[in-house]
Amino acid sequence: MRGGVVTSAVKDGNEYVLNGNKCFITNASSAEIFVVFANTRKAAGIRGLTAFVLEKGTPGFSVGKKEEKMGICASDTCELILDGVRVPEEQRIGREGEGFKLAMKTLDAARPLVGAVSVGISQAALDCAVKYAKERQQFNKPVASFQLVQAMVADMAMQIEAARLLVHKACWLKDQGMPYSKEAAMAKCFASDVAMKVTVDAVQVMGGYGYSKEYPAEKYMRDAKIMQIYEGTNQIQRLVIANAVLY
């Protein structure tokens, strides 16, 4: 969204004509209503971004290829194709050039949700690893009795709880109508980093079976990775947090 949107929206009377492609759109093949960001003033960069509401079946508007992904395979991700799509002026959201501001507000609201999903993935991975460690016998005793495994489980539990509380705080601030952009970034960044670490550790605790599709731990690990990427990469989250703290 840093001004690199190629999709254009050209005013034509009481309508806009949209042209371009959108990549990696979540649930694109099943959605009925879309919010599309296009550039109404290309030379203006982010100040030219404008948001529009589009309905499925609008002439010139179609769903392209479905992406093959490493994880979250239950959620389809597709390309959107806009070829001379005519959109009435009343389907514009806000004024021309307000798209970037709207997108940033949307990201603030979405980031705690990513954090919550990350916590869920982490907890599921921990539960799976704990169950396995109690059942798996090595040297005539359960793997859960080994101190190194216990240390890993303790770290996983602490990290998950810290992530959960960060998510709760961000959501609470939003519900109270208070500023929460920094906390949203913290919740998303920390919880998704935790999800990646915890799922890798869960696979490690389970050994070869953790790497096998016989157990869900490998799926949790694959699903966790995208949490560090979408709704703003964790590198971007750290910039958001640093700017809020410093300025």
The pLDDT of residue 44 is 65
Is residue 4 very low, low, confident or very high in pLDDT (cuts 50, 70, 90)?
Answer: low
Residues 6+ apart with CB under 8 A from 147: none
List, in order of start, the domains of the chain with CATH numbers. Answer: 8-93 (2.40.110.10), 99-246 (1.20.140.10)
Q: State the pLDDT at residue 104.
A: 93
Exposure string of 111-143, with b = 16+ CB inside 10 Å and e = fewer, is bbbbbbbbbbbbbbbbebbbebbeebeeeeeeb
Q: How confident is the model at residue 1 (pLDDT cuts 50, 70, 90)?
A: very low
Return the ∠ at Cα 75 (arms to 211 and 126), rounded to 5°. Answer: 40
Among residues 15, 89, 90, 231, which one is catalytic?
231
What contacts 211, CB < 8 A, 6 or more positions away? 203, 218
| 121-157 tens-digit pLDDT | 999 999 999 999 999 999 999 999 999 999 999 999 9
Averaged pLDDT, 172-187: 97
The two structure tokens encoding residue 155: 């770290």
The yes-or-no answer on residue 218 being catalytic is: no
pLDDT digits over 58-112, tens only?
999 999 999 999 999 999 999 999 999 999 999 999 999 999 999 999 999 999 9
* Residue 5 confidence class, pLDDT cut points 50, 70, 90: confident
Q: What is the per-residue burial (b if ≥16 Cβ within 10 Å, else e) of 197-215? A: bbbbbbbebbeeebeeeeb
146 secondary structure, DSSP code: S
Give the number of residues written for the chain. Answer: 247
pTM of the predicted structure, to 2 decimals:
0.91
Average pLDDT over residues 11-39: 95
